Chain A
């Protein structure tokens, strides 16, 4: 029988719904060490990023070396060790979107929210990123706010679109 693990790392509780999601995934994958990437995917989806204590938790549960977990996380660009912000704004800068003025959208966001691509606002409310192409060239210029795709975005609408999502002025 497995020893009862009651004390986890700080700020982590087994009753945390996000930890519960990871535990469910671990069970589904039968705690196989080679399911590391799938587990990390689940963890990133539930936390929004991969905090160090969550990595330590996964390391312990899966019984894989810490260095392997860290190597995997830093190798794939999908995984992030830093918070991407509570709300995310993704501006497509693919060819079609670029021609249709993605740069004006980025400039508008920088002016209104003082954010450059890859940055997160000081209060962690909004994170801005860019994508090479989101495969929606017919909707150019496209922007994704919290998984919601906005087609034919006009720079003047960007501010209200984001504010309505994050609820308050950043």
Chain B
């Protein structure tokens, strides 16, 4: 594979063509905050946490969906980016009803970890407190829309890896919600295979098995990444 020169955070690097900026950073040990990204499933650039600055381009671009180009000068840790990362994180919290103390994922939550990483001490925006439902109709799992951040990992893993297409997205903007089939109860789904992949990749406490209690949830998002990698090996 042809290699192209790029500069990331003042470090001159050689990166294979066709790689995304995020992949290039990972290969070279440069940390980039992500939320909707998960190894093994397609990237959509939904969470806006991996935004990077590229010299010569005015707008910030998501590292997960932007491919590296020759001689790009990329910055991942500027003050401007840090400011936006914190705002984005705070908006995640303000958009739904996130209360860590009563959450099943407390201590094992990617959103909570992100809050620590960006140095969030409080949320500067007023919580919207939207009316959101909890769907307990599935015999094994619960979908709590109060804790969903619309990363769409569950939607993508269900269609790309499991191939069941149970999850979808309804509406637009602030009204968006994850849906099962025709926005019908999860338990009535005609497509769900109860494979638990969505539960394991969900970064927050929005999807969880009924067998755990507050603060006891442990997820295995890597399970899906490993599965996808193993499938490729068999080819």
Interface residues of B in 168-207 (CB under 8 A from A): 168-172, 179-183, 190-191
Inter-chain contact A70/B171, CB cutoff 8 Å: no
How far is it, in angstroms, between the C-alpha of A65 and the C-alpha of B182 when the chains are bound? 9
Inter-chain contact B172/A67, CB cutoff 8 Å: no
Residues of the B chain whose Cβ atoms lie less than 8 Å from the Cβ of A35: none
Residues of the A chain whose Cβ atoms lie less than 8 Å from the Cβ of B208: none
Inter-chain contact A67/B168, CB cutoff 8 Å: yes
Interface string of B155-177 (1 = CB under 8 A from A): 10001000001111111100000
Residues of the A chain whose Cβ atoms lie less than 8 Å from the Cβ of B191: 65-67
How far is it, in angstroms, between the C-alpha of A40 and the C-alpha of B67 when the chains are bound? 35
Inter-chain contact B168/A68, CB cutoff 8 Å: yes
B172, B183, B190, B191 pick with most chain A CB within 10 angstroms: B183
Residues of the A chain whose Cβ atoms lie less than 8 Å from the Cβ of B170: 70-71, 74
* Chain A residue total in the interface (Cβ 8 A): 12
How far is it, in angstroms, between the C-alpha of A69 and the C-alpha of B166 when the chains are bound? 12
Q: Chain B nearest CB: distance from A55 CB in Å?
A: 6
How far is it, in angstroms, between the C-alpha of A74 and the C-alpha of B167 when the chains are bound? 14
Residues of the A chain whose Cβ atoms lie less than 8 Å from the Cβ of B165: 65-68
Q: Chain B nearest CB: distance from A16 CB in Å?
A: 21
Name the residue on A nearest B164 (C-beta). Answer: A65
Q: Chain B nearest CB: distance from A73 CB in Å?
A: 9
Inter-chain contact B172/A70, CB cutoff 8 Å: no
How far is it, in angstroms, between the C-alpha of A55 and the C-alpha of B180 when the chains are bound? 15
Residues of the B chain whose Cβ atoms lie less than 8 Å from the Cβ of A56: 182
How far is it, in angstroms, between the C-alpha of A16 and the C-alpha of B159 when the chains are bound? 34
Inter-chain contact A65/B171, CB cutoff 8 Å: no
Residues of the B chain whose Cβ atoms lie less than 8 Å from the Cβ of A75: 169, 171-172
Residues of the B chain whose Cβ atoms lie less than 8 Å from the Cβ of A70: 168, 170, 179, 181-183
Residues of the B chain whose Cβ atoms lie less than 8 Å from the Cβ of A74: 170-172
Can you pick out 15 interface pairs between chain A and chain B where the beta carbons lie within 8 Å of each other?
Answer: A66-B181, A66-B182, A67-B168, A67-B179, A67-B180, A67-B181, A67-B182, A68-B165, A71-B168, A71-B170, A71-B179, A74-B170, A74-B171, A74-B172, A75-B171
Shortest 10 CB-CB contacts between residues of A and residues of B: A67-B168, A65-B165, A66-B181, A71-B168, A74-B170, A74-B171, A70-B182, A66-B182, A71-B169, A67-B181
